[in-house]
Amino acid sequence: MVLEVKGIQKSFRNDKVLQDVSFCLKSGEIIAVLGHSGAGKTTLLRCINGLEFCDRGSISIDGRYLCREDNGKTLYTDADNIKSIRKKLGMVFQNLNLFPHKSALENITEAPIFVHGISKAEAEKKAYQLLEALGIRDKAACYPYQLSGGQKQRVAIARACALSPSIMCFDEPTSALDPELKESIACIIEKLASDNMAILIITHDMNFAKRVADKIIFMEAGKVIQEGTRDEFFSKPINDTVKRFINSA
């Protein structure tokens, strides 16, 4: 397993946002986490990438614990470990968060060069390969404001791929895309999975999940309500909430 999430709980004040969420993700597998907004999907993702600390539970990435529950206490690993574990985890934000003052190329090479000590030549070589693979090599020198939404998203994906992560997380990747771009992002995600990357997609776009995911996790009020293969999920919804959600698309 590349990603193991076990029994995580998270509250904001008295609001229990995540209640005992567990799941596993294998390399090459694509999991979509579905649910209404407010179901806890984004918080789940933020716990996995370490932007939020969960109150209880364990998260392990590539066999290393980010946090681990032991005798009822959840302990986080130290900052150095978090940094190296994060390397294994690529993240594409919903609003991308590209660095506006850096060109597409610099957005991709910034972390490898200035955080992880990779030589400029090597980082740029890798960045050009990624841009090439994503079909925007000619945009390397452009700044984010000069790019279209779809191109920006590709830069964000390339930036997240630059450190060769084993898991790639997408937060609502289709929220700003037209149908054609949705299809092309689906192809990109499939390509990443076929290169053995594990993919975690947070979305409420059911058609997209249907198109691309191997497995579906359905969340409601901070809990996993249903988990299963795509076909199972769509053919045998476990209860009315899930059924309504499926039929709403």
Partner 1 sequence: MLNYLLSLLPSMFEGLTLTLKVFTLTMMLSLPMGIFVALGRLSKIKVISRCVKIYIWIMRGTPLILQLVFIFFGLPLVGITFDRFQAALIAFTLNYAAYFGEIFRAGIQSIELGQYEAAKVLGFGPIKAFTRIVLPQVLKRVLPPVSNEVITLIKDTSLVYVVGLGELLRSGKIASNRDASLVPLIVVAFFYLMLTAILTKALKLCEDKYSYYH
Binding site for partner 1 (CB under 8 A): 49-51, 79, 83, 86-87, 89, 91, 93, 95, 97-101, 110-111, 114-116, 143-145, 159, 163
The minimum distance between CB 49 and partner 1, in angstroms, equals 5
Q: Which residue has the tokens 């409601």?
A: 220
The minimum distance between CB 54 and partner 1, in angstroms, equals 16
Identify which of residues 104 and 216 has a Cβ nearer to partner 1 in the complex.
Answer: 104
The minimum distance between CB 96 and partner 1, in angstroms, equals 8
Whole-number Å distance between alpha carbons of 213 and 167: 15
Identify which of residues 21 and 92 has a Cβ nearer to partner 1 in the complex.
Answer: 92
The minimum distance between CB 171 and partner 1, in angstroms, equals 11
Closest listed residue to residue 199, CA positions, set 177, 181, 182, 216: 216
The minimum distance between CB 156 and partner 1, in angstroms, equals 9
Identify which of residues 76 and 143 has a Cβ nearer to partner 1 in the complex.
Answer: 143
Whole-number Å distance between alpha carbons of 154 and 151: 5
- Under 8 Å between Cβ of 104 and 142: yes
Identify which of residues 49 and 203 has a Cβ nearer to partner 1 in the complex.
Answer: 49
Identify which of residues 97 and 207 has a Cβ nearer to partner 1 in the complex.
Answer: 97
Neighbouring residues of 128: CB distance < 8 A, sequence distance ≥ 6: 105, 137, 140
Whole-number Å distance between alpha carbons of 83 and 12: 25
Range list of H helices, 173-229: 179-194, 206-212
